[in-house]
């Protein structure tokens, strides 16, 4: 037993003190393993990070749970949701009015400022203070008197403001609250397909990391073998050398773990200042679950030792040198093929299950996907060997690269494995995404040909002046190409309080009404009744009886209304519904302003649709500013033809971010081993330069040497990825279709990595090609 | 000073410093076609630097190198590389064969770098390997042959382009006496038969004895020892 | 080894008594074989006869050891020629070469030149032997190799001495 410890310790000492060379190798391993560990730790933090975000999101929940407003009191707060958008970014806005000294506080707010002042999140403060935020500052022009603490933000880059507005009155859109936050929001059950996708995303991201760590612990293996041979010469036996090698691997992995912790800490700090895909994370949210940390801390060294021992299996270390089991056993195909086939076998029973078949068996999915992807790592060395053996001919650079690969195809394949696995996973997922997209990506029905923006001014007595004034201003603005005639709308009922029949009232000029519905022969003073095309609604018929007395904006319990009386004219025409640019059919009563005694709008919501002048930069923001100037509660909504499920986009976002990280990581490892190889052959390179070898020739040979295995790896990962994608689509009961753009994109990324690695290894290559390398003294 | 009449390659007053060390400090050299000149001197005296400068691998800090009437020191790096490919041959102490290429591919490499077709280059390579008595190793990789054999392959490689000047830097440094003698004999015989000049850097007298004349480098200064007649 | 040239060389630094000459010689070159007075006497008389030295003065008491000798111009030229002429490469040359090197250092001449000249001579010999070996049969080769290895040993000694000239100069002049 003490012998074991002695051998392990000796190995560790070699790793840490083995001179400049040994030290460098350990450093490379440590950085490689460290990057992998950091990525693992980051993955381990995701559950916590997402949980913390959710928790803060729940803590600032400011809707009344019961749907009823409490009576005014010392603790109550009036809240109006006043979100806006700025250049595609959401700004969470709340206008509030504390009704007592003890008004309930929004998380992150220590004290409410005075009327007309506001608190902003640090990110918003920065934006408003910058030249970029000038337009937004025009919209949010309250005096900034403080910042909102991180307790009130889900992420550091979130744009939030809380403005105090004493003009708030309870009513439409203004809620009275005496508590903020809910202990538990009813979370939607994740649907099985999404769950499947998340599972596959995690496997597709973590598998390459594992492959990468396995490659990293083998950095500099040849030199290590030579040293072990020297140890055999002074009397170590075969088992001792294995234990020493294991000790070295352990030490490397240990140092790697430390590096990983440091990288993670750095990455965690850096994460606080980075916003990717609309998500930003507080460093303190990124704390991994202890159990997962323990798992990483144990699994990584164990894997390192296992890989090292596995690598030593094919090598006989003799006292006088290393004998690679000469003429290595021809790589056999059958068991390599068995892995992916087994994977397919595991997935097969779930084919056709679809969304309605309940949850997918997580173990079968994991096992199947892992086996398929592991199959790549098993098949790649075989295929690289098989293909490279048949390559020949060509230029000197090609010959140098091919011969090199023929001699050590395993090394090349090992490095490309990570890329291949990552690409295969990503391709499969992209196919799945593309297939499932139709389910989650819904057509909104909005007609972007008719309008780009909808501006709404909320209900008030001045709605008519406000909306007509705004419409005029908009029409004059250079940012706007055209403005539709404005309309107003409100609820209308047959009683002041809680009417029996109620429907929608839309008021506008004949020109305006014509854009919404078929109103034949419309003239000022007309009123039309429009059936709801989506479901039959008796109340419309009840309400549209000529001469009937109606109330606009009737009151309901807990929600006071204006209840303006209106008597219908003697004639109410029937009309067929059309659609507005939002895609929703207006129904209920359509009236011209002349149908009202005053000849103008009653108190209503005002709506106007705008077509922007696309050549005008920031046209959207200019229009929003004009709307906000008309009424701070006005909203500007941009129309889009399609809408994606939020859940779906966040999963997709995760995949893109992860795949990018993984490919960069693998690119780095390719670079490291390329450097190592170049350093090993410094003398040879200088000798080749002495004969007059062109730099181009050697650079190209480096390119081929990376490109050949990567191309093979991509071809293989394409096959496996497409197969896996097809199976996943079948499992979710979708038609199999190939998502060529993503296949192309993934191949492009792979090619980019090759090119990047080659480009980055050129400067050291050219440096090593300097004749000084020939000097021995 | 000008190049001695009839010399193929000559150098006057070469100076070259690597950082604070003066590797060459006013060295002179000249060689005629078909001549074998030994460059001798203790380790660190600047022998190898002299060879690197003469071969156009390293440009000297100052001094003039003339090859066949052209001034080497005035050529660009590309031109010097082209000259090395076409007119010069090289043998190093440890062969420096490309480990993944077979021996015949190694020998053919300089021809291929000059743009020769693969088949043709390997045919020529094989005739040189025959002359150096290593043609039976053609298909083996450098790792599978002995040091002496490898060095003979390296000599074949250096001669395959029929260079006008052959630069040999301690060509027998890693070999035993017998193998060293054999390599030297084959090398000088082959060079003489093609009328190539040989610049032979060595610290071994028995190797230098294969030369026609020796030059001693000490502290970066060269001394041409005219044979005492 | 030429005792005459050695004694002449010793005189180059200034006139000496016969007794002094013997002592200086023994100290620097006669490590295991001190010179007899007789040898000094006979050598000096030969040099005197050849005009390479002259008697600078005689001390009371008479006898050859009491005479003070000085080197003549002809004597200096003779030493110079001797030092500049390489020895014929042959085995066991080192004692002569050593004497030459020390004398060159003692008389302020360039010992490096001397060694280079000697090396060139050795190499010339080695070239001849190499050439003969090339053309000869196995017996010739073996015989030539024997000579070559000996010459190589000498040459190695020359290299080593050349590398240690500075040290040697210090040791010789301080004694």
B206/C148 Cβ within 8 A:
yes
What integer pLDDT is reported at residue C91 of this predicted model? 62
Q: What is the pTM of this model?
A: 0.63
User: Which region, left, alpha or beta, applies to residue B67 given φ > 0 means left and ψ of -120 to 50 means alpha?
Assistant: beta
Chain C residue closest in CA terms to B204: C152
User: Is chain B touching chain A, with at least 3 CB–CB pairs below 8 Å?
Assistant: yes
A463 and A492 both lie in a single domain: yes
Residue C155 contacts B where some CB pair is shorter than 8 Å: yes
Q: B91 in a domain, yes or no? A: yes
User: Which CATH number is C79's domain given?
Assistant: 1.10.10.10
pLDDT at B38: 92
Tell whether A230 and A258 lie within a shared domain: yes
Digit-coded pLDDT (tens) for A446-489: 776 777 788 777 766 667 777 777 778 777 877 777 777 777 87
Find all residues with CB under 8 Å of A581, minimum gap 6, and list them.
Answer: A446, A447, A450, A451, A454, A484, A609, A639
Same domain, A478 and A426: no
Do residues C46 and C129 both lie within one domain?
Answer: no
Does residue A415 sit in the same domain as residue A539? Answer: no
Mean pLDDT of A222-239: 74
Res. A280: pLDDT tops 50: yes
SS3 B71: strand
Q: Which bin fits B68, alpha (ψ -120 to 50), beta or left (φ > 0)?
A: left
Residue A124 lies in a domain: yes
- Pick B112's closest partner by Cβ from A396, A690, A775: A396
Can you give the pLDDT at residue B1?
A: 47
Q: At residue B158, what are phi and psi to the nearest 5 degrees?
A: -70, -25
Residue at which a domain ends, from A150, A177, A204:
A177
Domain range for C100: 85-175
Comparison of pLDDT for B89 and A89, the residue scoring more: B89
Q: Do B206 and C86 touch (CB under 8 A)?
A: no
Inter-chain touch A687–B90, beta carbons under 8 Å: yes
Query: Are A164 and A296 within one domain?
Result: no
**Would you place residue C160 in the very low, low, confident or very high pLDDT band (cuts 50, 70, 90)?**
confident
pLDDT, average across residues A250-255: 84
End-to-end alpha-carbon separation of chain B, Å?
25
Q: Are residues C160 and C140 in the same domain?
A: yes
Residues C74 and C89 in one domain: no
Residues C5 and C79 in one domain: yes
User: Which chain A residues touch B89 with a CB distance below 8 Å?
Assistant: 691
Enter the DSSP assignment of A499: -
The chain A residue lying nearest B55, using CA atoms, is A690
Please state, in angstroms and rounded to a whole number, the distance separating the CA atoms of residues C71 and C63: 19
B188-207: pLDDT as tens digits: 988 888 899 999 998 888 88
Cβ-defined contact of B209 to C148 (cutoff 8 Å): yes
- Closest CA–CA distance from residue C117 to any residue of chain B (Å): 8
Structural domain contains residue A66? no
> Residue B40 belongs to a domain with what CATH number?
3.40.50.300
**Angle CA A222–A224–A225, to nearest 5:** 65
C29 with C95, same domain: the answer is no
The whole-angstrom distance between A762's CA and the closest CA on chain B is 18
B73 domain residue, yes or no: yes
| Residue B170 lies inside a defined structural domain of this protein | yes
B contact chains, 3+ CB pairs < 8 A: A, C
Per-residue pLDDT at A297: 87
CB neighbours (10 Å) of residue A63? 12
User: What is the pLDDT at residue A320?
Assistant: 63
Whether residue A688 and residue B98 make contact (CB cut-off 8 A), yes or no, is yes
Contact B81 A688 (CB under 8 A): no
Predicted local confidence at residue B227, as pLDDT: 44
Same domain for C2 and C27: yes
Establish if A389 touches chain B: CB-CB under 8 angstroms: no
pLDDT at A326: 45
- Residues in chain B closer than 8 A to A404 (CB atoms): 100
List C residues 94-123 in contact with B (Cβ-Cβ < 8 A): 112, 116-117, 119-123
Q: What is the pLDDT of residue A774?
A: 63
Q: Of A324, A350, A379, which one is at a domain's C-terminal end? A: A324
Residue A52 lies in a domain: no
Determine the straight-line distance between the first and last CA of chain C, rounded to whole angstroms.
Answer: 22
Stated as kind and residue range, the H or E segment containing B138 is none
Contact (CB<8Å) B96/A687: yes
As a whole-number percent, the residues of chain A with pLDDT over 70 amount to 82
Q: Comparing A10-19, A150-159, A391-400, A550-559, which segment has the lowest mean pLDDT?
A: A10-19
Q: Out of C45, C68, C83, pick the residue that ends a domain.
A: C83
B158 within a domain of the structure (yes/no): yes
Q: Is C156 close to B223, i.e. CB distance below 8 A?
A: no
Question: Do A437 and A530 sit in the same domain of this protein?
Answer: no
Is B216 in CB contact (< 8 Å) with chain A? no
CA distances from C7 to A450, A612, C175 (A): 123, 116, 17
Minimum Cα–Cα distance from B56: chain A residue: A690
Establish if B75 touches chain A: CB-CB under 8 angstroms: no
Position A59 in a domain: no
pLDDT for res A274:
61
Mean pLDDT (chain A) is 77
User: Could you tell me if A372 and A303 lie in one domain?
Assistant: no
| Half-sphere exposure of residue A281: CA atoms within 13 angstroms, side-chain side | 22
- Answer whether residue B3 is part of any domain: no
Work out the mean pLDDT of chain C and round it to a whole number: 83
CA distance A766 to chain B (A): 13
Q: Rounded mean pLDDT of B5-24?
A: 85
User: Does C45 lie in the same domain as C78?
Assistant: yes
Q: What is the DSSP letter of A551?
A: E
State the pLDDT at residue B199. Answer: 93
Least confidently predicted of A51-55, A425-429, A557-561, C170-174: A557-561
Helices (H) and strands (E) in chain B, counts: 7, 10
Contacts 24+ apart (CB under 8 A), C167-173: C168/C101, C168/C102, C168/C105, C168/C111, C169/C105, C169/C111, C172/C28, C172/C102, C172/C105, C172/C106, C173/C105, C173/C106
Minimal CA–CA distance to C7: which of C93, C83, C79? C79
Last residue of a domain, one of A621, A640, A659: A640
Give the residue on C whose Cα is nearest the Cα of B44: C163
User: Stretch A270-275: mean pLDDT, rounded?
Assistant: 66
Mutating which of C130, C133, C149 best tests the B interface, going by the most B Cβ atoms within 10 A? C130
Angle between helices A362-390 and A695-731 (to 10 degrees): 150
pLDDT at B39: 92
As a whole-number percent, the residues of chain B with pLDDT over 90 amount to 14
**Which of A181, A137, A176, A182 shows the shortest CA–CA distance to A159?**
A137
Provide the pLDDT for residue C106. Answer: 84
Top-ranked range on mean pLDDT: pick from A286-290, A441-445, A645-649: A286-290
Asked if residue A553 has pLDDT above 70, the reply is yes
Quick one: closest CA in A to B43, which residue?
A777
pLDDT digit string (tens) for A122-178? Answer: 888 888 888 888 888 888 888 888 888 888 888 888 888 888 888 877 766 777 888
Searching chain A, which residue's CA lies closest to the CA of residue B42? A777
pLDDT, residue B228, reads 38
Q: What count of Cα atoms within 13 Å lies in the side-chain half-sphere of residue C29?
A: 24
B85 touches chain A (CB under 8 A): yes
Element housing A183 (H / E): none
- Determine the Cα–Cα distance for residues A452 and A611; give it in Å rounded to an integer: 5
Average pLDDT over residues A218-236: 72
Q: Is C146 on the interface with B (CB under 8 A)?
A: no
> Contact A224/A308 with Cβ under 8 angstroms?
no
Q: What is the pLDDT of residue B201?
A: 92
Say if residue C77 is in the same domain as residue C98: no
pLDDT at A600: 64
What's the distance, Cα to Cα, between the start and end of chain A in Å? 46
C27 and C74 in a single domain? The answer is yes
| C61 lies in the same domain as C125 | no
Whether C73 and C11 map to the same domain: the answer is yes
pLDDT of residue A464: 72
ipTM of the complex: 0.81
* Residue A438 pLDDT grade (very low, low, confident, very high; cuts 50, 70, 90): low
| Interface contact flag, C123 B185, Cβ < 8 Å | no
Question: Domain end: C49, C65, C83, which one?
Answer: C83
- Cα–Cα distance, A153 to A91 (Å, whole number): 12
Domain span holding position B17:
9-224
DSSP H helix total and E strand total for chain A: 20, 25
A617 pLDDT tier (thresholds 50, 70, 90): confident
CB-based burial, C24-49: b 16+ in 10 Å, e otherwise: bbeebbeeeeebeeeebbebbeebee
My answer on whether A420 and A469 are in the same domain is: no
Domain count, chain C: 2
pLDDT digits (tens, 9 = 90+) for A28-42: 677 777 877 887 787
pLDDT in tens, B67-113: 988 888 888 888 888 888 889 988 888 777 888 888 998 899 888 88
On whether any CB of chain B is under 8 Å from the CB of A691, the answer is yes
Residue B185 counted as domain residue: yes
When pLDDT is averaged across residues A231-243 and rounded to a whole number, the result is 78
Nearest residue of A to residue B79, measured between CA atoms: A692
In a domain, A58, yes or no: no
Looking at the complex, report in whole angstroms how far the Cα of residue C40 sits from the nearest Cα belonging to chain B: 34
Would you say A458 and A634 are in contact if contact means Cβ atoms under 8 Å apart? yes
Nearest CA in chain C to B222: C116
A497 and A628 fall within a common domain:
yes
- CB-nearest partner of A692 from B58, B99, B113: B113
Say if CB B195 and CB B159 are below 8 A apart. no
Residues C36 and C92 in one domain: no
Number of domains forming the structure of chain A: 4
DSSP state of A411: H
Report pLDDT digits (tens) over A318-347.
666 666 554 555 667 788 888 888 988 888
Q: Which domain holds residue A380?
A: 330-442+646-777
In tens, the pLDDT along A518-540 reads 778 888 888 888 877 667 777 77
Q: Are residues A272 and A340 in the same domain?
A: no
Q: What is the pLDDT of residues C91-133, one digit of tens each?
A: 666 678 888 888 888 888 888 888 888 888 888 889 999 988 8
Average pLDDT for residues C124-152, to the nearest whole number? Answer: 87
**Residue by residue, what is the 3-state secondary structure of B32-66?**
CCCCEEEEECCCCCCHHHHHHHHCCCCCCCEEEEE
CB-nearest partner of B42 from C130, C155, C159 = C159
Q: Provide the pLDDT for residue A183.
A: 63
Averaged over A48-71, what is the pLDDT?
A: 73
Please count the structural domains in chain B: 1
- Domain membership flag for residue B2: no
Element (H, E) at A172: none
Q: Answer with the one of C34, C60, C83 that is the final residue of a domain.
A: C83
Whether residues A656 and A632 share a domain: the answer is no
């Amino acid at each position: 037993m003490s012998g074991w410890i002695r051998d392990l310790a000796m190995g560790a000492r070699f790793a840490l003190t083995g001179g400049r060379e040994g030290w460098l190798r350990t450093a490379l391993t440590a950085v490689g393993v460290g990057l992998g560990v950091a990525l693992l730790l980051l993955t381990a933090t995701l559950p916590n990070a997402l949980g913390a975000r959710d928790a803060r999101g729940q803590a600032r929940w400011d809707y009344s749970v019961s749907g009823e407003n409490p009576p005014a009191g010392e603790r109550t707060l009036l809240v109006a949701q006043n979100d806006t958008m700025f250049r595609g970014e959401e700004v969470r806005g709340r206008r509030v009015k504390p009704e007592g000294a003890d008004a309930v506080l929004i998380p992150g707010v220590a004290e409410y400022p005075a009327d007309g002042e506001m608190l902003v999140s640090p990110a918003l403060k920065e934006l408003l203070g910058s030249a970029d935020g000038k337009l937004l500052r025009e919209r949010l022009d309250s005096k900034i008197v403080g910042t909102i603490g991180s307790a009130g933000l889900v992420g550091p880059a979130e744009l939030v403001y809380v403005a105090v507005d004493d003009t708030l009155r309870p009513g439409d859109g203004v809620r009275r609250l005496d508590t903020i936050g809910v202990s538990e929001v009813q979370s939607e059950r994740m649907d099985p397909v999404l769950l499947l996708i998340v599972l596959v995303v995690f496997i597709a991201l973590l598998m390459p990391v594992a492959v990468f760590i396995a490659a990293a612990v083998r950095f500099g293996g040849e030199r290590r073998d030579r040293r072990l041979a020297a140890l055999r010469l002074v009397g170590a036996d075969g088992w001792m050398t294995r234990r020493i090698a294991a000790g070295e691997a352990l030490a490397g992995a240990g140092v790697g773990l430390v590096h990983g912790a440091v990288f993670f800490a750095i990455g965690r700090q850096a994460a606080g200042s980075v916003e990717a895909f609309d998500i930003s994370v507080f460093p303190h949210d990124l704390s991994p679950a202890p159990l997962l940390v323990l798992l990483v801390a144990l699994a990584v060294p164990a894997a390192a030792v296992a890989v090292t021992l596995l690598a030593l299996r094919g090598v006989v270390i003799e006292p006088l040198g290393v004998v690679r089991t000469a003429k290595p056993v021809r790589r056999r195909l059958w068991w390599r093929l068995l892995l992916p086939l087994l994977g397919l076998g595991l997935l097969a029973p779930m084919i056709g299950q679809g969304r309605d078949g309940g949850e997918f068996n997580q173990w079968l999915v994991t096992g199947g996907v892992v086996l398929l992807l592991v199959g790549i790592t098993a098949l790649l060395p075989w295929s690289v060997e098989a293909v490279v053996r048949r390559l020949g001919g060509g230029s000197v650079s090609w010959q140098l690269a091919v011969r090199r690969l023929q001699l050590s195809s395993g090394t090349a394949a090992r490095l490309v494995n990570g890329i291949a696995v990552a690409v295969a996973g990503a391709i499969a997922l992209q196919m799945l995404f593309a297939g499932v997209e139709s389910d989650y990506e819904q057509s909104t029905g909005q007609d972007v040909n008719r309008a780009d923006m909808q501006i709404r001014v909320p209900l008030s007595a001045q709605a008519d002046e406000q909306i007509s004034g705004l419409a005029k201003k908009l029409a004059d603005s250079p940012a706007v190409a055209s403005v539709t005639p404005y309309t107003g709308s409100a609820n209308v009922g047959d009683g002041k309080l809680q009417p029996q029949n109620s429907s929608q009232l839309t008021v506008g000029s004949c020109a305006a009404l014509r854009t919404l519905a078929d109103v034949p022969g419309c003239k000022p003073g007309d009123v039309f009744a429009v059936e709801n095309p989506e479901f039959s609604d008796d109340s419309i018929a009840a309400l549209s009886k000529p001469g009937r007395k109606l109330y606009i904006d009737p009151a309901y319990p807990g929600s006071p209304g204006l209840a303006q009386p209106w008597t219908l004219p003697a004639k109410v025409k029937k009309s067929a519904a059309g659609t507005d640019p939002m895609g929703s059919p207006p129904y209920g009563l359509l009236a011209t302003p002349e149908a009202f005694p005053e000849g103008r709008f009653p108190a209503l919501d005002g709506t106007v649709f705008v077509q922007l002048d696309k050549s005008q930069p920031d046209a959207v923001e200019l229009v929003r500013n004009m709307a906000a100037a008309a009424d701070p509660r006005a909203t500007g909504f941009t129309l889009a033809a399609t809408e994606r499920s939020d859940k779906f986009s966040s999963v997709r976002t995760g995949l893109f971010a992860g795949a990018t990280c993984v490919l960069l990581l693998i690119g780095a490892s390719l670079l490291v081993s390329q450097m190592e190889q170049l350093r090993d052959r410094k003398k040879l390179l200088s000798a080749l330069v002495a004969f007059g070898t062109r730099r181009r020739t050697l650079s190209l040979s480096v390119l081929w040497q990376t490109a050949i295995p990567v191309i093979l790896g991509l071809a293989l990962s394409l096959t496996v990825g497409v197969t896996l994608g097809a199976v996943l689509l079948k499992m979710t009961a979708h038609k199999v279709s190939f998502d060529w753009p993503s296949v192309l994109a993934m191949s492009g990324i792979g090619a980019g990595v090759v090119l990047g690695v080659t480009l980055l290894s050129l400067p050291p290559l050219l440096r090593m090609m300097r004749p000084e390398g020939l000097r021995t003294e | 000073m000008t190049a001695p009449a009839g010399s193929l390659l000559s150098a006057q007053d070469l100076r070259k410093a690597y950082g604070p060390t003066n590797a060459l400090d006013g060295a002179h050299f000249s060689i005629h076609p078909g001549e074998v000149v030994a460059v001798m001197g203790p380790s660190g005296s600047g022998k190898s630097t002299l060879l690197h400068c003469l071969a156009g691998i390293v440009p000297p800090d100052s001094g003039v190198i003339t090859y066949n009437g052209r001034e080497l020191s005035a050529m660009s790096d590309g031109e010097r590389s082209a000259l090395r490919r076409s007119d010069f041959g090289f043998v190093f102490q440890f062969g420096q064969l490309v480990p993944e290429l077979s021996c015949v591919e190694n020998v053919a490499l300089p021809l291929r770098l000059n743009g020769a077709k693969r088949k043709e280059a390997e045919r020529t390579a094989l005739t040189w390997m025959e002359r150096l008595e290593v043609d039976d190793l053609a298909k083996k990789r450098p790792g599978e042959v002995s040091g002496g054999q490898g060095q003979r392959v390296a000599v074949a490689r250096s001669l395959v382009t029929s260079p006008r000047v052959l630069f040999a830097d301690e060509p027998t440094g890693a070999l035993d006496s017998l193998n060293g003698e054999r390599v030297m004999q084959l090398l000088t015989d082959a060079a003489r038969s093609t009328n190539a000049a040989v610049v032979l850097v060595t610290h071994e007298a028995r190797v230098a004895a294969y030369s026609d004349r020796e030059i001693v480098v000490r502290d970066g200064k060269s001394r041409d020892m005219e044979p005492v007649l | 080894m030429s005792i005459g040239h050695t004694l002449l060389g010793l005189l180059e630094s200034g006139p000496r008594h016969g007794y002094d000459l013997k002592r200086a010689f023994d100290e620097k070159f006669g490590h295991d074989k001190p010179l007899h007075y007789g040898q000094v006497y006979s050598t000096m008389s030969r040099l005197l006869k050849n005009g390479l030295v002259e008697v600078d003065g005689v001390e009371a008491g008479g006898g050859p050891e009491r005479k003070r000798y000085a080197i003549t111009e002809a004597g200096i030229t003779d030493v110079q020629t001797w030092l500049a002429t390489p020895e014929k490469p042959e085995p066991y040359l080192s004692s002569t070469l050593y004497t030459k090197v020390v004398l060159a250092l003692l008389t302020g001449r360039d010992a490096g030149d001397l060694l280079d000249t000697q090396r060139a001579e050795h190499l010339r010999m080695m070239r001849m032997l190499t050439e003969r070996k090339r053309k000869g049969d196995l017996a010739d080769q073996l015989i030539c190799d024997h000579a070559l290895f000996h010459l190589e040993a000498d040459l190695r000694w020359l290299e080593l001495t050349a590398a240690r000239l500075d040290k040697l100069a210090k040791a010789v002049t301080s004694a």
